[in-house]
Amino acid sequence: MNILMLASEAVPLAKTGGLADVVGTLPIELARLGHDVRLALPRYAGIEAAPVTLKKAPAVRVPWRGDQLEVGIETGALGGGAVPLTCIRYDPFFARPGLYGEDGRDYPDNLERFVLFCRAVMEACKQPGRPPDVLHAHDWQSALAVAYLKTLYRNDPAWVGTRALFTIHNIGYQGHFPVSAYDATGLPWSEYTPERLEYYGQVNLLKGGLVHADILNTVSPTYAREIQTAEFGYGLEGVLQVRKDRLFGVTNGIDYNVWNPATDSHLPARYSAADLSGKRECKRALQTEVKLPARDVPLVGMVSRLAFQKGIDLIVDILPRLLELDVQMVVLGSGDPSYQTLLAELSARHPDKLAVRLVFDERLAHRIEAGADLFLMPSRYEPCGLNQLYSLRYGTVPVVRKTGGLADTVVPYAPDVRLGAAATGFGFEKPEPEVLLSTLLLALRVYRDKEEWTGLMRRGMQQDFSCQRSARQYVELYQRALAL
Ligand code: ADP
Ligand code: GLC
């Protein structure tokens, strides 16, 4: 198959969260399965530092507010040449310090930025005589490409027969903009209706993908069901209920070449399920790195965007009580300034127990996955989550809320089931501080039982959530779209 994928981030070029891991990995696996995949991304500032060489290609003219705009194109490849890359270069929009905003505030012209990205992809990735079989777009930033395919480009020979798959990584982010911005989309006003892109008097870019795609998916089966309910659908549950026959769940896979404690070059020592001794060294080194006493106490790790989604408020609530116990915690996160302040204050009060790093640091993320004993993810909702998958592979027992992909990937420990059960972590249901605290207390009690704990670690390390498996499931969805 000939697949054109577009997204707003992908490792190793640009990343704010799990979307980048998935989009940086999936096309390479699809290419390994024998498919022709091209990936299109915005050309952000700072991309120069990535281990990818970009070359200038002929510019394209993109329809823009009744006129045309010349947009730069740079090309390169991912996966050792396996996946050709098209980067859309328009510095007034993309050469900024952030991808979507700065200091917790979105850029006010995000609609224009991603309109231009999607429209430029439609122009730059035309291959005369060879329309892609599938256009695969991710999240609200790329959703307009699907809408363009089905409207403005419907009769364009360069796109004839192309089917669209749209992947929802997080329905909490929809791209809402005032109606005054709608003209910039270039779409006819007939698209601005409640059945299409209108949403309570605003433009909703995500809906462009939801209503126009041939097939929809989200990143776990449980989340695919959850988003059809008012509790999780963020107002779009009705739209998804209508399309439920076209909506699937594909649990994210991870790249075990990058996330593997037996080979990870970011770690001071390496280890495997067969020989766990290196993990102790990783823990000591992590304690030293984040300036916690290098003692034999349970060390709880967390790596997260600091957003409401992630249950940070629950953590802040229980931390004073948790830190009365003989435990340590290390948090790596960036995002909402109010959570940053709260965490920094708590850490100043408990410097021997709580280390907080309010930055984005890929290497430290690896060392926390390896050095911690437990990994905390009390998300209010979680479409899939990758950190619990990394934690499982690193023998760092996840403590999660049973929602979305967390419910699909972690088997919670039950106190009444003896050794040998299938448990790989700890789970709780109600998003309440007391429930989180009692789950952590249970985990800390089991931690003292070395045999039981090692069983949990080893079972987790043996789980297989590979990106090879998820890539095959995406191929099935592409085939389904082509068979329509
Ligand atoms: P989400 O995409 O909702 O943020 P995921 O669990 O799917 O959640 O993916 C998060 C990804 O971002 C993981 O690869 C994680 O290691 C990484 N990450 C999040 N915050 C940081 C940070 N402060 N520093 C380094 N990596 C981070
Ligand atoms: C989103 C979700 C996360 C998911 C990631 C990759 O950011 O919040 O749960 O793992 O996308 O699909």
CA quadruple 175, 59, 64, 194: dihedral, nearest 10: -30
Atom of ligand 2 nearest to the CA of 223: 9
| pLDDT, mean over the chain | 96
- Statement: residue 2 has pLDDT above 70: yes
β-bridge pairing 105-106 and 101-102: antiparallel
Instruction: Using DSSP, state whether 347 is helix, strand or coil.
Output: helix
Contact 164, 138 (CB under 8 A): no
- Statement: residue 46 has pLDDT above 90: no
Does ligand 2 come within 6 angstroms of the Cβ of 62?
Answer: no
Say how many Å lie between the CA of residue 69 and the centre of ligand 2: 33
Write the CA distances from 144 to 43, 59, 113, 380, 412, integer angstroms. Answer: 18, 21, 12, 28, 39
Arithmetic mean of pLDDT, 76-104:
95
Does ligand 2 come within 6 angstroms of the Cβ of 278?
Answer: no
Testing ligand 2's pocket by substitution, the residue of 386, 390, 391, 465 carrying the most ligand atoms inside 8 A of its CB is 386
Nearest ligand to the C-alpha atom of residue 304: 1
Does ligand 2 come within 6 angstroms of the Cβ of 383?
Answer: yes
Say how many Å lie between the CA of residue 405 and the centre of ligand 2: 9
Q: How far apart are the C-alpha atoms of 305 and 425, rounded to whole Å?
A: 21
Arithmetic mean of pLDDT, 246-268:
97
Say how many Å lie between the CA of residue 187 and the centre of ligand 2: 29
Q: What is the pTM of this model?
A: 0.96
- Statement: residue 65 has pLDDT above 90: yes
Q: Which residues contact residue 386 at a Cβ distance below 8 angstroms, ignoring those fewer than 6 apart?
A: 18, 21, 22, 252, 254
Q: How far apart are the C-alpha atoms of 244 and 240, rounded to whole Å?
A: 6
DSSP annotation of 395 reads T
| Alpha carbon distance, N-terminus to C-terminus of the chain | 15
Confidence of residue 291 (pLDDT cuts 50, 70, 90): very high
Say how many Å lie between the CA of residue 325 and the centre of ligand 2: 32
**Partners of residue 207 on adjacent β-strands:** none
Contact 61, 70 (CB under 8 A): yes
Q: In the prediction, which pLDDT does 281 show?
A: 98
- What kind and span of H or E run contains 400? strand 397-401
Say how many Å lie between the CA of residue 129 and the centre of ligand 2: 36
Confidence of residue 194 (pLDDT cuts 50, 70, 90): very high
Say how many Å lie between the CA of residue 169 and the centre of ligand 2: 5
Atom of ligand 1 nearest to the CA of 377: 6
- Statement: residue 288 has pLDDT above 60: yes
Domain 2-253+468-483 has CATH 3.10.560.10: no
pLDDT digits (tens, 9 = 90+) for 398-445: 999 999 999 999 999 988 776 558 999 999 999 999 999 999 999 999
- Name the segment(s) of the chain with CATH classification 3.40.50.2000: 2-253+468-483, 277-464
Distance of CA 271 to the CA centre of its chain: 26
Tokens of 205: 């870019």
Q: In the prediction, which pLDDT does 418 show?
A: 63
Q: Which CATH superfamily is domain 277-464 in?
A: Glycogen Phosphorylase B; (3.40.50.2000)
Does ligand 2 come within 6 angstroms of the Cβ of 380?
Answer: no
Instruction: Using DSSP, state whether 190 is helix, strand or coil.
Output: helix
Arithmetic mean of pLDDT, 380-404:
98
Q: Which residues contact residue 137 at a Cβ distance below 8 angstroms, ignoring those fewer than 6 apart?
A: 5, 6, 7, 118, 143, 145, 146, 164, 165, 166, 167, 209, 213
Atom of ligand 2 nearest to the CA of 383: 9
pLDDT digits (tens, 9 = 90+) for 304-334: 999 999 999 999 999 999 999 999 999 999 9
Testing ligand 2's pocket by substitution, the residue of 8, 216, 217, 252 carrying the most ligand atoms inside 8 A of its CB is 252
Say how many Å lie between the CA of residue 443 and the centre of ligand 2: 25
Q: What is the CA radius of gyration of the chain?
A: 23
